Structure 1
Amino acid sequence: MPYTLQKKGLVTAITEITELLAEGNELSIEFNNSLKDLAITKEKEIHIFRLFQEVLNNTIKHANASEIRIHLYEEKNELNILIKDNGCGFDKEKVMDQGKGLGLQNILRRAGILKGKVYLETIPGSGTEYHFRIPL
């Protein structure tokens, strides 16, 4: 478990990972956080952080994106996470049908563990947008 997540919490850990990824890649990451204090268990924090990591890793590895926009906010007792890139997008049905997309399967599995909903919009050539709604 990342030290920052353990000691300083989810938002600080997400801030740190986005800064590190932006420095290590030719990537512009815009991070907008509207959260105040999050009262969630450490286990839930870990799953949310790993879900976040998986999305960013997939984006860097496959999307060929130059920009990622991230927004965290709370609405109706749900944590909302929006992650949008300007990359190449993909055909999600094709990826899932062919048994590829282990990262995508991990993302969906973690969201399920969190009893969250995932809205995924993507088409080849026009980027990808994830919207997670996770009950608090």
Structure 2
Amino acid sequence: MIGLKTFLRCIDSTGALIVECITVLGKDSFSHARAGDKIVCVVKKVKPASAGSNNLVKKGEVCHGIVLRTKQTTRARANGMRVQFNDNAVALINKNNGEPLGQRYLRNSNIIAKEVQRRFPKIAAVTDKRI
């Protein structure tokens, strides 16, 4: 479960490495985000500016994102299975239309929850691994 001040790993190609959750969208202010929920986050760490790297976001920028996976065990699915991942991960999206900002996911980081695939097919289209 992702709450206020939770640090998440950004796994898309926007240039952000670490983001911090500041609020959960679509729920009351005391609830926590799970896989597939929208959040508002602040970029805390970005890739270093080197030759050839073009970061789409800057440090301190406020962005919207989709939670792709969480360390906390998810709610039970219809078949009774519960899923737990090794880290908390997010993909940044456009504030206005919900389109993903990154064009691809980082290598070895493209595993996302099935709940995200159902709710956001454009986010799931850039990866082929779904659990």
For the superposition of Structure 1 and Structure 2, which TM-score range results when normalised by the shorter chain? Answer: 0.3 to 0.5
With the length of structure 2 as denominator, give the TM-score of the two structures.
Answer: 0.33
Query: Which of the two has greater helix per residue?
Result: 1
